Structure 1
Amino acid sequence: MRYFNKVALILLPVLMLALAGCGSSSSGKTDPFNPGGTVGGTTSGTPPYSLTLTPAKSAAFANEQLIVTAVLKDASNTPIANQTVNFSITAGPATAVSTSARTDSNGVALAFVRTGATAVTTNVIVQGASTVNSKSVVGYGNFQVSPADANLNSTRLSLSMTSLAVSPNQEQVIIATAKDGSNNPLANLAVTFRVAAGPASMVITNSFTDANGQATTIVKAGNPAAVSNVIIEATATVGGNAVVANIPFQVVPTTISTVNYTMTMAASKLVVDNNEEFFVAVTLKDSGANPVVGQTVNFSIASGEAAVITPTAVTDSLGKGIARIRALNPASTSAVILQALATIDGTVVTALAPVQITTQPLSASIIKMTLASDKQTVGINSDVILTATVTDLQSPPKPVQDNPVTFSVVGGSANVLDPSGNIQEPFTVNTDSMGNAVCRLRSAATPTSSSIIVKSTTTVNDKEVTAYHTIDIVRQNSYVINFLTSGSASDPSGNLNRLSGTVAFDFVGTVTFKQLVPFQVLDNNGIPLPNVAVALEISNTGRNLDTRIELVPPLPGVPVVYPFDDPLKITVRTDDHGMGIFTCNVSLAAPGAGMTNTESVIYQATATSGGVSMLSYGGFIATVTQDKAP
Structure 2
Amino acid sequence: MRYFYKLALILLPVLMLALAGCGGSSSGSADPFNPGGSVGGTTSGTPPYSLTLTPAKSAAFTNEQLIVTAVLKDASNTPIANQTVNFSITAGPATAVSTSARTDSNGIALAFVRTGVTAVTTNVIVQGAATVSSKNVVGYGNFQVSPADGNLNSTRLSLSMTTLAVSPNQEQVIVATAKDASNNPIANLPVAFRVAAGLASMVIANSVTDSNGQATTIVKAGNPAAVSNAIVEATATVSGSAVVANIPFQVVPTTISTVNYTMTMAASKQVVDNNEEFFVQVLLKDSGANPVVGETVAFTVASGEASVITATAVTDSLGKGLARIRALNPASTSSVILQASANIDGTLVTALAPVQITTQPFSASIIRMTLLSDKDSVGLNTDVILTATVTDMQSPPKPVQNNAVTFRVVAGSGSILDFNGAVQASYAVNTDSVGNAVCRLRSAAAPLSSSIIVQATTTVNDTVVTAYHTIDIVRQNSYVINFLTSASTSDPGGNLNRLSGTVAFDYVGPVIFKQLVPLQVLDNNGIPLPGVAVTLEISNTGRNLDTRIELVPPLPGVPVVYPFDDPLRITVTTDDHGMGIFTCNVSLAAPGAGMTNTESVIYQATATSGGVSMLSYGGFIATVTQDKAP
What TM-score do the two structures reach when normalised by structure 1?
A: 0.79
Larger radius of gyration: 2
Cα 1:357–1:365 shift into 2, 3 Å: closer
- The alignment yields a C-alpha RMSD, in angstroms, of 4.5
Does 1:79 find its partner at 2:79?
yes
Cα 1:290–1:141 shift into 2, 3 Å: same
- Which structure 2 residues correspond to residues 520-539 of structure 1 after superposition, within 5 A? 520-533=520-533
Tell me how far 1:433 sits from its aligned partner.
1.9
Q: Distance in 2 between matches of 1:100 and 1:128?
A: 9
SS of equivalent residue, structure 2 residue 145: strand
CA contact (8 A) 1:6 1:91 kept: no
Tell me how far 1:3 sits from its aligned partner.
11
**Letter of the 1:423 counterpart:** V
Question: Which residue does 1:335 correspond to in 2?
Answer: 335
Question: Which residue does 2:367 correspond to in 1?
Answer: 367
Does 1:352 find its partner at 2:371?
no
- Which structure 2 residues correspond to residues 182-581 of structure 1 after superposition, within 5 A? 182-362=182-362, 364-481=364-481, 520-533=520-533, 573-579=573-579
| Deviation string, structure 1 residues 502-545 (Cα, Å, up to 9, x no partner) | xxxxxxxxxx999998765432344332233556789999x999
Tell me how far 1:183 sits from its aligned partner.
1.3
**Letter of the 1:240 counterpart:** G
- Which structure 2 residues correspond to residues 1-12 of structure 1 after superposition, within 5 A? none
CA contact (8 A) 1:315 1:450 kept: no
Tell me how far 1:141 sits from its aligned partner.
2.3
| Deviation string, structure 1 residues 63-113 (Cα, Å, up to 9, x no partner) | 221111111111212111011112222333322221211110011111112
Q: Distance in 2 between matches of 1:549 and 1:239?
A: 98
Question: Which residue does 1:102 correspond to in 2?
Answer: 102
| Deviation string, structure 1 residues 282-332 (Cα, Å, up to 9, x no partner) | 111111111111111111111111111111111111111111111112221
Cα 1:617–1:219 shift into 2, 3 Å: farther
Cα 1:329–1:132 shift into 2, 3 Å: same
SS of equivalent residue, structure 1 residue 439: strand
- 112-121 or 75-84, which deviates more: 112-121
Tell me how far 1:466 sits from its aligned partner.
1.5
Tell me how far 1:613 sits from its aligned partner.
3.3
Cα 1:135–1:426 shift into 2, 3 Å: same
Tell me how far 1:171 sits from its aligned partner.
0.9
| Deviation string, structure 1 residues 128-174 (Cα, Å, up to 9, x no partner) | 22222222222222333333333332111111112211111111111
Cα 1:447–1:430 shift into 2, 3 Å: closer
CA contact (8 A) 1:166 1:252 kept: yes
- 398-407 or 78-87, which deviates more: 398-407
SS of equivalent residue, structure 2 residue 223: coil
| Deviation string, structure 1 residues 436-460 (Cα, Å, up to 9, x no partner) | 1111122234452332221112222
SS of equivalent residue, structure 1 residue 360: coil
| Deviation string, structure 1 residues 8-46 (Cα, Å, up to 9, x no partner) | 8x98xx99xxxxxxxxxxxxxxxxxxxxxxxxx965443
Does 1:151 find its partner at 2:146?
no
Q: Distance in 1 between matches of 2:79 and 2:449?
A: 51
Question: Which residue does 1:18 correspond to in 2?
Answer: none
Tell me how far 1:233 sits from its aligned partner.
0.6
Q: Distance in 1 between matches of 2:10 and 2:559?
A: 91
CA contact (8 A) 1:549 1:584 kept: no
Cα 1:45–1:211 shift into 2, 3 Å: same
- 268-277 or 530-539, which deviates more: 530-539
- 174-183 or 395-404, which deviates more: 395-404
**Letter of the 1:176 counterpart:** A
SS of equivalent residue, structure 1 residue 293: coil
Q: Distance in 1 between matches of 2:494 and 2:11?
A: 65
Q: Distance in 1 between matches of 2:468 and 2:341?
A: 23
Q: Distance in 2 between matches of 1:447 and 1:396?
A: 44
| Deviation string, structure 1 residues 586-618 (Cα, Å, up to 9, x no partner) | 99xxxxxxxxxx999998765443332345678
Cα 1:165–1:583 shift into 2, 3 Å: farther
Cα 1:436–1:59 shift into 2, 3 Å: same
Tell me how far 1:244 sits from its aligned partner.
1.1
Tell me how far 1:551 sits from its aligned partner.
11
**Letter of the 2:469 counterpart:** H
Q: Distance in 2 between matches of 1:181 and 1:497?
A: 73
CA contact (8 A) 2:554 2:582 kept: no
SS of equivalent residue, structure 2 residue 86: strand
Q: Distance in 1 between matches of 2:51 and 2:568?
A: 82
Cα 1:289–1:482 shift into 2, 3 Å: farther
CA contact (8 A) 1:494 1:618 kept: no
| Deviation string, structure 1 residues 366-416 (Cα, Å, up to 9, x no partner) | 222111112222333332211111223334433222222221222223222
- 69-78 or 480-489, which deviates more: 480-489
Q: Distance in 1 between matches of 2:586 and 2:157?
A: 72
Q: Distance in 1 between matches of 2:231 and 2:338?
A: 23
Tell me how far 1:353 sits from its aligned partner.
1.2
- 463-472 or 552-561, which deviates more: 552-561
- 492-501 or 331-340, which deviates more: 492-501
Q: Distance in 2 between matches of 1:49 and 1:128?
A: 13
| Deviation string, structure 1 residues 541-578 (Cα, Å, up to 9, x no partner) | 9x999xx9999988569999999999999876543233
Q: Distance in 2 between matches of 1:518 and 1:4?
A: 90
Cα 1:318–1:80 shift into 2, 3 Å: same
Cα 1:530–1:498 shift into 2, 3 Å: closer
CA contact (8 A) 1:485 1:495 kept: no
Tell me how far 1:231 sits from its aligned partner.
0.4
Cα 1:285–1:202 shift into 2, 3 Å: same
Tell me how far 1:211 sits from its aligned partner.
0.5
Q: Distance in 2 between matches of 1:251 and 1:336?
A: 25
Question: Which residue does 1:49 correspond to in 2?
Answer: 49
Cα 1:92–1:365 shift into 2, 3 Å: closer
Question: Which residue does 1:504 correspond to in 2?
Answer: none
Cα 1:373–1:77 shift into 2, 3 Å: same
Cα 1:579–1:194 shift into 2, 3 Å: farther
Q: Distance in 1 between matches of 2:346 and 2:67?
A: 28
SS of equivalent residue, structure 1 residue 290: coil
Question: Which residue does 1:37 correspond to in 2?
Answer: none
Cα 1:585–1:65 shift into 2, 3 Å: farther
- 360-369 or 157-166, which deviates more: 360-369
Q: Unaligned stretches of 5+ in structure 1? A: 16-40, 502-511, 588-597, 624-630
Q: Distance in 2 between matches of 1:229 and 1:182?
A: 34
Question: Which residue does 1:121 correspond to in 2?
Answer: 121
Q: Distance in 2 between matches of 1:238 and 1:585?
A: 89
* Identity between Structure 1 and Structure 2 (%): 81
SS of equivalent residue, structure 1 residue 255: helix
What TM-score do the two structures reach when normalised by structure 2?
A: 0.79
Q: Distance in 2 between matches of 1:485 and 1:581?
A: 12
CA contact (8 A) 2:413 2:449 kept: no
- 335-344 or 116-125, which deviates more: 116-125
Tell me how far 1:465 sits from its aligned partner.
1.8
Q: Distance in 2 between matches of 1:471 and 1:387?
A: 13
- 71-80 or 516-525, which deviates more: 516-525
